Structure formats: structure tokens, C-alpha cells
Amino acid sequence: MAIQGYSKSEFGEELAKVLSPARPISSIEKLYGREIELETIERSLYQPGRHIFIYGDRGIGKSSLAATAAYQYHNSETSPIFVGGSCDETFRSIVANIANKAMSISRFVNTKKTSSFGFEWKGVKLNSGVETNSKDITEQIKGVGDAADLLDQISKFLPQKTIIVIDEFDAIPDASDRNKFASLLKQLGDQDVSIRFIFTGIAKSIDELLGAHQSAYRQLETVELANLSWDARYELVKNAMHHFNLTIPDDINWRIAMICAGYPYYIHLISEKILWEVFSDDEIVDKVSLEHYGRGLNAAVRSVTAELRKPYEVAVIHRPEEYEDVVWSIADTDDLLRPLSEMRKSYESLIIKRRKENPISSVAFNQCIRNLKSEKFGSILTPLAGRKGWYGFRENMLRGFIRLQAAANGVELNGSYRIPKQTMRATVNARSGVYGSAVPYGVNINRRINDDDDE
């Protein structure tokens, strides 16, 4: 095998320690580019009654930041409590799940069961280390007051710094259930309950959480996650390769940084696939080649979930060829919101890159863009309210998949402008919603995948 010292199973297990596209990161040394957000969360949690809401696009790293922050702040005696929102969860069922998990990690159980405890709440017996029927607990939670009382009772037997993470909060289907958590936070604060919550969800769920109770603003520190900065993307890839004593040429590393559009999910996925290609090489190598990179990209495209692939395939498969060109051109920048005029310029540049003649007219291009709003064409784009001729992606993470698809076909999609690398940690751009530009100043990414050399 090409990576010396590992059997296939050993390599797979070691790789899982370094890269994790399918599950959240929970250790600070593996979380790149989120130092400011971690510091914000840590400082906020020192304030009594303060809770955290992390929001942003899917695949941007919300769950990883929440898990890392929870472990960093949480009492070392126990682990944080993790529950997830889903289409069949309600306010009552989530609180019941929290109660069960809290009882199983009580500090009495954690001291090797030298003692145990239990109490009865509304006719339900809760005992340390023993899971109670969640249905029984759920049935006794009639409202927010009951939930606050139950958590208050349980908190008396938990460490002071107990963190509860509610991941994918926006997946809870009933808006009234989501709003109840705002009331719960207020009541927990009024009762001085020491439990702290960290929520994660897409951006709109903040308004849904706070809409019914504006006073909940003082209980929440909101943390918006933008795309990873360029230096964080670069360091993540480099360190993953160095873990296996491999070097990666800068131009390949920057290409990965550009393709992933700042989404940790794509960086982890592409890096994982490239490392497997290196491992499968017939010869021992100490450097990632363009061939490894190309094969890794193709493997990453095949691995992306159907949920992301489907809109793209609906838009381009069994369509005239120009639809693929148009779809690629709308992702040719870091900007999440773009006017038709800029997308047209990207299309014209793309046609030159693909060495095609006779681009479609502006009228035909505009019609393609309008079609991409409809379900029949994958609903890739959505118009920006109040700004005629401006569009954004219905699912921002889809932009990363489009860039990945284009790169796997030998077309490197660029950004629209350059800025010096030292300014890449600038405040989130109000128009684009991302950090910095698409290509760091001085970075050469113009070579194609089929170059013969590896330099």
C-alpha cells in the first residue's frame, strides 16, 4: 500500500480520527477557523442564565462547533447531553429525552455507583442509571411550567456546568413547539436553574424561536457561522495530509479550498477521498499528485448525498447542454446573491474555459435562469425579494456541490475578485454572506487536472 505502516483496517480507523465528514467534530484541535466563535460561546456561558444559538447553512459546521464548545465548557466529571431535533419530535418528547439522559449521567452514577438516587415526579419514578419509559415522562409534561420544574429537579443532582445540546433544532416540525423553548429558557433563568442549552439550526429558526417571546433575547447569545476562511481551509487539508506524512502541493490545496466553497463537509469529504486514493496507489509515495486529486474528486462526487445531487441532476440531465454551463456559471463566485448581469459574465468566461463556440444569447440565458427557479428544473435558484434580477441558491450548500461537479469534469470555477490573504478574516460581507474573496492574492490555480507534472 502507498501509505507505509498501515493495513487497510488500520488506515481506515486512523483516517476516521483525522477527518469526519459524516459526524460532528468534538475536539478543539480538530476544529479549524472557529476560534472567535468558540471564545464568544465560552465567555457567554460564564454569564448566569445565558444560552447559545448557533445558526448557519447546512454543512457549515454548526454541530461540530456546538459539540466542541460543549465539551470545552462542560464539567469534566461527565459528558454533555446531546439530543436532536427531527420530524417526529415535540417539545415534550425532547424534554423527556433530556430527563432520561440526564439521569443516566448523574454525578452519583459517575462515581462508580458508590451511591444512587431517585425521585418521583408526577407519579413517574426516575432513578439514576436507569432509563425510564420516555412515554411516561412525556405524558406528564403538560406545558412549559412542567418542563421547567422537571429540569429544575434534575439539575439538583447534576454538576453545575451541565450543557445540553439540541442539534438540528429547525427540524422540529411544529413552530409552536419550537417557541416553547423560548418560554422554557426564560423560566429556567427566573428559577436560576444551572443547566445551559446550546441550540443549532438554520438561520430562520432563530426568528421562530424568539418570535413568541422577545424577552428571550437576553437569555440567548446568537452565533452565526459563515463559510470557513481560506487559511482555515488550507490548514485543515494540510494537517490531514501531514498526519500521514504526506505533503500536498499548494496549488492542489488551494484548489480544494476553492471548490469546497468554505463548507467543512466538502473539505473533509474531498480530503478523505484523496487519502484513500493515495493509500490505494501501487507505489509508496510521500506527496499528493494531481492524479490522486482528480480521482479523489470523482469519488467525492459519487459520495455526496442524493439530497444534494438530485436538484443538480434534475437541472442538467436530459437537458440541452447549455443548462450545465449555466448551472456551473451561477456557482462561479463566493457571492451567495448575484444579479443576472454578473452571472452572464461568469457564463461567458466559462464558455471560453470550455473552448466552446456560439454561446447562447442573453435572452436564452435569462430564460434558463428563470427555469432554474422551478421545481421541474430542480428549484436551484430563488429570486431575492425586493431586488429585481437578483438570485440566490435555494440551498447554499448546493453551490459547493456544483463547484465540486465542475472540478471533477476538469473546470475550475473561480471567484469574482481577489484580495490579499491577510484580510480574509474580514467581517461577513453583507451582500454575499461569506468571508473574503474566492481566490487569495497570488495563488495560481490556472493549471488543469490533466497536467503531467505534480509541481
Is pLDDT above 70 for 244? Answer: yes
Nearest-angstrom CA–CA distance, 402 and 233? 18
Is pLDDT above 60 for 22? Answer: yes
Angle at 235 between CA 228 and CA 413, to 5 degrees: 55
The separation between CA 454 and the C-alpha centre of its own chain, rounded to angstroms, equals 32
Q: Which burial class, exposed, middle or buried, applies to 447 when counting CB atoms under 10 A from its CB (0-12, 13-18, 19+)?
A: middle
Nearest-angstrom CA–CA distance, 432 and 252? 25
**Residue ranges in 354-452 assigned as alpha helix (H):** 362-371, 396-408
Q: Largest alpha-carbon pair distance within the chain?
A: 80
Q: Among 100, 174, 169, 177, which residue's Cα sits nearest to residue 135?
A: 100
Other CB atoms within a 10 A radius of the CB of residue 27 amount to: 12
Nearest-angstrom CA–CA distance, 282 and 263? 32
Grid coordinates representing 318 are: 436530459
Nearest-angstrom CA–CA distance, 32 and 65? 10
Looking at the chain, the whole-number percentage of residues with pLDDT higher than 70 is 79
Q: Of 119-128, 181-190, 271-280, 437-446, where does mean pLDDT reach its minimum?
A: 437-446
Q: Domains in the chain and their CATH numbers?
A: 35-224 (3.40.50.300), 230-440 (no CATH)
Q: Which burial class, exposed, middle or buried, applies to 177 when counting CB atoms under 10 A from its CB (0-12, 13-18, 19+)?
A: middle
Do 180 and 208 meet the contact criterion of CB atoms below 8 Å apart?
Answer: no
Phi, psi at 319, each rounded to 5°: -115, 165
CA dihedral 288, 290, 292, 297 (to 10 degrees): 120
Could you tell me which residues come within 8 angstroms of residue 427 by beta carbon, excluding any fewer than 6 positions away?
A: none
Other CB atoms within a 10 A radius of the CB of residue 106 amount to: 23
Give me the residues paired with residue 393 across strands: 381
Phi, psi at 119, each rounded to 5°: -155, 165
Average pLDDT (19-45) is 83
Q: What is the pLDDT of residue 134?
A: 63
pLDDT tens profile 131-183: 566 667 888 899 999 999 999 988 888 888 889 999 998 888 888 888 888 88
- Which has more pLDDT, 41 or 209? 41
Q: Which burial class, exposed, middle or buried, applies to 255 when counting CB atoms under 10 A from its CB (0-12, 13-18, 19+)?
A: buried
Q: Among 103, 94, 78, which residue's Cα sits nearest to residue 159?
A: 78
Q: Name the strand (E) or helix (H) holding 251.
A: helix 250-259
Q: Is 120 helix (H, G, I), strand (E, B) or coil?
A: strand
Q: What is the pLDDT of residue 151?
A: 92
The b/e string for 389-412 (b: 16+ C-beta within 10 A; e otherwise) is ebbbbebbbbbbbbbbbbbbeebb
Do 341 and 422 meet the contact criterion of CB atoms below 8 Å apart?
Answer: no
pLDDT tens profile 343-367: 999 999 999 988 888 899 999 999 9
Is pLDDT above 50 for 432? Answer: no
Average pLDDT (122-127) is 66
Q: Of 186-190, 352-356, 390-394, 423-427, where does mean pLDDT reach its minimum?
A: 423-427
**Residue ranges in 57-113 assigned as alpha helix (H):** 62-73, 91-104, 107-110
Nearest-angstrom CA–CA distance, 123 and 2? 62
Q: Name the strand (E) or helix (H) holding 391.
A: strand 390-393
Average pLDDT (280-287) is 90
Give me the residues paired with residue 419 across strands: 440
pLDDT tens profile 36-69: 999 999 999 888 889 999 998 888 899 999 999 9
Nearest-angstrom CA–CA distance, 414 and 332? 5
Nearest-angstrom CA–CA distance, 16 and 275? 11
Global confidence as pTM: 0.80
Q: Of 137-151, 164-178, 198-212, 288-302, where does mean pLDDT reach its minimum?
A: 198-212
